[in-house]
Structure 1
Amino acid sequence: MSEVLKRIEVSEENKWKLEDMFKDQQTWDAEYKEVQKKVKEIKKFQGKLTDAINIKKCFALEDDISLHTERLYVYANLKHHEDTTESTYQALSDKAQKLSVEINGSLSFITPEILSLSDEQLKKFIDNPELSDYKRTLEEMLRQKAHILSQSEEAILAQVGSLSQAPQNIFGMLNNADITFPKIKNDIGKEVELTHGNYIQFLESDNQEVRKSAFKAMYDTYNRHKNTIGATLNANINKNNFYAKTRKYPSILDMALYGDNIPKEVYTNLIDTIHEHLPLMHRYMELRKKLLKVDELHMYDLFSPLVDEFRMEITFEEAKDKVAESLKPLGEDYLAILNDGFNNGWIDVYENKGKRSGAYSWGAYGTHPYVLLNHKDNLNSMFTLTHEMGHAIHSYLSDENQKYRDAQYTIFLAEVASTLNEALLMDHLLKNTTDEKEKLYLLTYYADQFRTTVFRQTMFAEFEKIIHEKAEAGESLTPQDLSEIYYDLNVKYHGDGMAVDQDIEMEWARIPHFYSSFYVFKYATGFSAATSFSKQILEEGQPAVDRYKGILKSGGSDYSINILKRAGVDMSSPEPIRQAMSVFEEVISEMEKLTQ
Structure 2
Amino acid sequence: MSAMNSKALPKRDEIDEKYKWNLGDMYQSIDKWENDLKTVKQLIEQIVKYKGTLVNGPEILLECLKASNEMMALNDMIYVYARMKRDEDNGNPTYQALSDRASTLSTEVYASISFIVPKITSIPQDVLESFISSSEGLKVYRQFFNEIVRQKEHILSEKEEEILALSSEMASSSRDIFTMFNNADLKFPFIKDENGEDIELTKGRYTKFLESEDRRVRKDAFTALYDTYGKFSNTLATSLTGNMKANKFYSTVSKYKSSLEASLDADNISQEVYDNLIDTVNNNLPLLHRYLKLRRKALKLEELHMYDLYVPIVKESKKNIPYEEALKLVEQGLSPMGDEYIGYLKEGFNSGWVDVFENQGKTSGAYSWGAYKSHPYVLLNYQGTINDVFTIAHEMGHALHSYYTNKTQPYVYSEYKIFVAEVASTVNESLLMEHLLKNTSSKEEKAYLLNHYLEQFRGTIFRQVMFAEFEKITHSNLQDGEALTADVLSNIYLDLNKKYFEAEVSVDDAIKMEWARIPHFYTSFYVYKYATGFSSAVAISNMILNEGKPAIDRYKEFLKGGSSDYPLDLLKRAGVDLYTPKPVQDALDVFEKILTELEALI
Normalised TM-score (structure 2):
0.85
1:48 Cα deviation from its structure 2 partner = 1.4
Deviation at 1:163, TM superposition (A): 5.1
Match of 1:391 among 385, 394, 398: 398
- The one-character-per-residue Cα deviations of 1:152-191 (angstroms, maximum 9, x if unpaired) are 3333444445556666566666666777878877767788
Conserved in 2, the CA contact under 8 Å of 1:529 and 1:569?
yes
Match of 1:43 in 2: 48
Distance 1:487 1:470, change over 3 A: same
Please name the residue that 2:133 is paired with.
Answer: 127
One-letter code of the match for 2:159? S
Q: Is the 8 A contact 1:204 1:303 kept in 2?
A: yes
Match of 1:117 in 2: 123
Picking from 126, 133, 151, the partner of 1:144 is: 151
Return the alpha-carbon distance in structure 1 between the equivalents of residues 245 and 21 of structure 2: 37
The correspondence for 1:298, drawn from 298, 305, 314, is 305
Equivalent position SS for 1:554: coil
- The structural deviation recorded for 1:281 is 0.8
Query: Against the structure 1 CA distance between its residues 385 and 74, is the aligned structure 2 distance closer, same or farther, given a 3 Å change threshold?
Result: same
Partner of 2:437: 430
Spell out the pairing of 1:343-492 with structure 2 (5 A cutoff). 346-347=353-354, 359-373=366-380, 377-478=384-485, 481-492=488-499
Gaps of 5+ in 2: none
In structure 1, what is the Cα distance between the partners aligned to 2:187 and 2:85? 22
Confirm or deny: 8 A CA contact 1:176 1:354 kept in the other structure: no
- One-letter amino acid of the structure 1 residue matched with residue 424 of structure 2: A
Distance 1:285 1:6, change over 3 A: same
Structure-2 change in CA distance of 1:407 and 1:4 (3 Å): farther
Q: Contact 2:12 / 2:360 at 8 angstroms: preserved in 1?
A: no
Relative to structure 1, the CA distance from residue 319 to residue 155 in structure 2 (aligned partners, 3 Å threshold; closer, same or farther) is: same
Instruction: Determine the C-alpha separation between the residues in 2 that align with 1:182 and 1:27.
Output: 52
The reply to whether residue 335 of structure 1 matches residue 342 of structure 2 is yes
Please report how far the alpha carbon of residue 342 of structure 1 lies from its aligned counterpart in structure 2 after TM superposition.
4.1
Structure-2 separation of matches of 1:20 and 1:493: 50
Shift of 1:85: 9.9
Q: What amino acid is aligned across from residue 45 of structure 1 in structure 2?
A: Y
What SS does structure 2 have at the residue aligned with 1:45? coil
Q: Which moved more, 1:522-531 or 1:78-87?
A: 78-87
Q: In terms of mean alpha carbon deviation, does 189-198 or 495-504 score higher? A: 189-198
Please report the TM-score for the alignment, with normalisation by the length of structure 1: 0.86
Q: Distance in 2 between matches of 1:223 and 1:352?
A: 39
The AA in structure 2 aligned to 1:49 is: L
Structure 1 stretch 336-345 or stretch 221-230: which is displaced more?
Answer: 221-230
Distance (Å, rounded) in 2 between the aligned partners of 1:342 and 1:270: 37
Which residue pairs with 1:527 in the alignment? 534
Report matched runs for 1:186-585 at 5 Å: 200-212=207-219, 215=222, 233-307=240-314, 311=317, 313-315=319-321, 317=323, 318-342=325-349, 346-347=353-354, 359-373=366-380, 377-478=384-485, 481-585=488-592
Instruction: Say yes or no: does 1:155 pair with 2:157.
Output: no
Aligned AA (1:110): I
* 2:368 partner SS: strand
Question: 1:131 Cα shift?
Answer: 1.0
Note the C-alpha offset of 1:398: 0.9
Three-state SS of the structure 2 residue aligned to 1:421 is helix
> Cα–Cα, structure 1 residues 78 and 546, in superposed 2: closer, same or farther, change >3 Å?
same
Q: Deviation at 1:359?
A: 4.6
* 2-structure distance, mates of 1:229, 1:82: 37
Structure 2 distance, partners of 1:548, 1:80, is 35
The whole-number CA distance in structure 2 between the counterparts of 1:227 and 1:76 is 42
Distance change in 2, residues 1:546/1:26 (3 Å):
same
CA contact (8 A) 1:16 1:370 kept: yes
Q: What are the Cα deviations for residues 446-502 of structure 1, in whole angstroms up to 9, with x where unaligned?
A: 221211111111112112223322333344445554444333322221233113344
Instruction: State the Cα deviation string for residues 175-219 of structure 1 (Å, max 9, x = none).
Output: 667778788777677888877667645544433344445555665
- Following superposition, the deviation at residue 32 of structure 1 comes to 4.8
Partner of 1:56: 62
How far off is 1:404 after superposition?
0.7
Counterparts in 2 of 1:470 and 1:578: CA distance versus 1, 3 Å: same
Q: Which moved more, 1:47-56 or 1:538-547?
A: 538-547
Larger CA Rg, structure 1 vs 2:
2
Partner Cα separation in structure 1 for residue 534 and residue 556 of structure 2: 17
Equivalent-residue separation in structure 2 for 1:436 and 1:568 (angstroms):
34
33-42 vs 81-90, greater mean Cα deviation: 81-90
The 3-state SS of whatever aligns with 1:361 is strand
User: What do the CA deviations read for 1:392-418 (whole angstroms, capped 9, x no partner)?
Assistant: 221121112111101111122222212
Aligned length: 593
Distance (whole Å) between structure 2 residues aligned to residue 553 and residue 83 of structure 1? 33
**CA–CA separation in structure 2 for the residues paired with 1:580 and 1:133:** 36
Classify 1:261/1:236 alpha carbon distance in 2 versus 1 (closer, same or farther; 3 Å).
same
Query: Gaps spanning 5+ residues in structure 1: where?
Result: none
Q: Contact conserved, 1:82 with 1:356, CA < 8 A, in 2?
A: yes
C-alpha displacement of 1:242: 3.0
8 Å contact from structure 2 (residues 321, 386) kept in 1? no
CA deviation vs aligned residue, 1:313-360 (integer Å, no higher than 9, x gap) = 454624433222211111233233334444555456677899877654
1:160-175 mapped onto 2 (5 Å cutoff): 160=167
State the distance in 2 between where 1:323 and 1:84 align: 30
1:413–1:496: structure 2 CA closer, same or farther, 3 Å change rule? same
Identity %: 49
Task: Note the aligned Cα RMSD (angstroms).
Answer: 3.9
Deviation digits for residues 508-529 of structure 1 (CA, Å, limit 9, x no counterpart):
4444433433222122112222
Q: Does the 8 Å CA contact 1:368/1:396 hold for their aligned counterparts?
A: yes
Residues 82-121 of structure 1 aligned to structure 2 (within 5 Å): 99-121=105-127
Moved more, 476-485 or 38-47: 476-485
Distance (whole Å) between structure 2 residues aligned to residue 85 and residue 172 of structure 1: 24
Give the distance between the partners of 2:512 and 2:84, measured in 1 at CA.
Answer: 32
Letter in 2 for 1:47: G
Q: For residue 145 of structure 1, what is the amino acid of its counterpart? A: K
C-alpha spacing 1:185/1:401, structure 2 compared with 1 (3 Å): farther
For 2:165 and 2:402, the matched residues in 1 are separated by 27
- Give the deviation of 1:136 after TM superposition: 1.4
Call closer, same or farther: CA 1:126–1:461 in 2, change over 3 Å: farther
1:76 and 1:134 map into 2 onto residues whose CA distance is: 30
- SS of 2:374's equivalent in the other structure is coil
* 8 Å CA contact 1:49, 1:113 repeated in 2: yes
User: Match of 1:281, as an amino acid?
Assistant: L
